[in-house]
Amino acid sequence: MKKLTLATLAVTCSLLVACNNASSTDTASKPAKTQTTSANIAKNTTDKQLSDVAKALQDNLDKSGIDITVTSAVATAMPGMYWVSFEGAPAMFTDVNGEHLIQGQIVKLGDGAPIDITSSIQADIAKDKLSNVDKKDMIIYPAVGDTKAAIYVFSDPTCHYCQKLHSEIKQITAGGIEVRYLAWPRGEQTIPLTEAIWCSADRHNALTRAKKGENITAPTCDNPVHSQINLGHSLGVNGTPAIFAESGVQIGGYLPADRLIQAAIDNK
């Protein structure tokens, strides 16, 4: 049986969601109503039920020759529908028997304005995973003066819009925003450059020089680049920059400094 690799599945997922993520703007808002609904559902779902869903899905993935590992399942506001996470690949929906994988949004209707039940789950998971990244593994630009909010930025040093965002770093930090860079080279060819940045004695200087097009060299070291690539995949990142607020809400792509500052504060 032909095995579908983790990388193949991740690329397929990226193609499916690319159009949606490419249109990301600073209009993201806190999904408060959905969070309450999801929380109520979760209270009535036991750990065993969630474990059974994850196991059933893993068994079916194995039987179908898909080489990917299920890490968790979370109940959603839609009865019988679960949000499942994987190692190094974007999360998706599955049914209680783990027989179907569904990617995309699920929208609840009939109770006032439509509610995207996906957004709060994604934000909660992203918030938890990002808050657990060790600060020593990020390149951090502290806010100037009082810190109003922080953002996590998955970045590739050769990406044009990453370079444009970095050119505005002083404006962003002056606006009270702490910028926490995570490594996310877009392809194998930029992994060595990214690793050299993270292995440099002065990461800030190396990052700035790389984003100006300079080549960076540094002795090989233990670095978090591959783990951060996997983290990005697990959060649905498929392009750079990918910017997350402290709440776990993805607020962009590239945004001009003034809009980025406001979006970070609004979604803190």
The C-alpha atoms of residue 91 and residue 89 are separated, in whole angstroms, by 7
Question: Residue 114 corresponds to which tokens in the numbers above?
Answer: 């439509």
Superfamily of domain 135-266: Glutaredoxin (3.40.30.10)
Q: Given a cut of 70, is residue 229 above it in pLDDT?
A: yes
Evaluate if pTM is beyond 0.85: no
Question: Residue 235 corresponds to which tokens in the numbers above?
Answer: 């959060």
* pLDDT tens profile 12-71: 444 333 333 333 444 444 443 434 444 444 556 788 899 999 999 999 999 999 999 999
Q: Do domains 31-131 and 135-266 have the same CATH topology?
A: no
Do the beta carbons of residue 116 and residue 20 sit within 8 Å? no
Q: Given a cut of 60, is residue 6 above it in pLDDT?
A: no
Question: Residue 95 corresponds to which tokens in the numbers above?
Answer: 């049914």
Q: Domain limits of the chain?
A: 31-131, 135-266
* pLDDT tens profile 163-215: 999 999 999 999 999 999 999 999 999 999 999 999 999 999 999 999 999 99
Q: pLDDT at position 44, please?
A: 61
Strand, coil or helix: what is 81? strand
* pLDDT tens profile 109-142: 888 888 888 888 889 999 999 999 999 999 999 9
Instruction: Kindly report the average pLDDT of the chain as a whole number.
Output: 86
* pLDDT tens profile 61-113: 999 999 999 999 999 888 999 999 998 788 899 999 999 999 888 888 888 88
Question: Residue 32 corresponds to which tokens in the numbers above?
Answer: 């408060």
Q: pLDDT at position 130, please?
A: 97
Q: What is the CATH number of domain 31-131?
A: 3.10.450.70
Through-space distance between the first and last CA atoms of the chain, rounded to whole angstroms: 47
The C-alpha atoms of residue 77 and residue 42 are separated, in whole angstroms, by 9
- In terms of DSSP bridges, do strands 242-245 and 149-155 run parallel, antiparallel, or are they unpaired? antiparallel
Do the beta carbons of residue 117 and residue 34 sit within 8 Å? yes
Q: In sequence order, which residues have a C-beta less than 8 Å from that of residue 176 and are 6 or more positions away?
A: 143, 144, 145, 146, 147, 148, 149, 261, 265
Closest Cα partner for 177 from 257, 233, 95, 235?
A: 257
